[in-house]
């Protein structure tokens, strides 16, 4: 299914973290926190500025991002769990 977010919204796929700590301890699924990193899957056209012009988004498809713990709305598309969030919920782009 093709999906394109509207305006300043971004579709994000969470990036799974390692199941082991740096010390080699395996973390069970029940103790794991949801990852706060993701990959941008699709972006909207941009938000409207004060002058009614469309301001393009700074993120693009394929960017790895960092976002807040409670950011976005969880959706399921084609059996895959994804997040839809506003660009303002994104804390930064990982290089």
Q: What is the CATH number of the domain that holds 52?
A: 2.30.33.40
Q: How many Cα neighbours within 13 Å face the side chain of 33?
A: 7
pLDDT digits (tens, 9 = 90+) for 66-95: 998 888 899 998 888 999 999 999 999 998
Alpha carbon distance 46, 53 (integer Å): 9
Cα dist. 24→16, 20, 21, 27 in Å? 17, 5, 5, 9
Average pLDDT over residues 49-59: 89
Alpha carbon distance 34, 13 (integer Å): 12
Domain count for the chain: 1
pLDDT score of 10: 94
Alpha carbon distance 51, 35 (integer Å): 37
**What's the domain range around 63?**
9-14+35-94
Q: Does 72 fall in a domain? A: yes
pLDDT digits (tens, 9 = 90+) for 9-41: 999 998 876 665 566 777 666 655 676 899 999
């Amino acid at each position: 299914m093709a999906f394109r977010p509207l305006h300043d919204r971004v579709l994000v796929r969470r990036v799974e973290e390692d199941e082991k700590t740096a010390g080699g301890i395996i973390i069970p699924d029940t103790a794991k926190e949801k990852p706060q990193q993701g990959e941008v899957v699709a972006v909207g056209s941009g938000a409207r500025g004060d002058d009614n012009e469309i301001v393009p988004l700074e993120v693009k498809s394929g960017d790895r991002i960092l976002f807040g713990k409670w950011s976005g709305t969880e959706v399921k598309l084609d059996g895959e769990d994804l997040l839809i969030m506003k660009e303002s919920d994104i804390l930064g782009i990982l290089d």
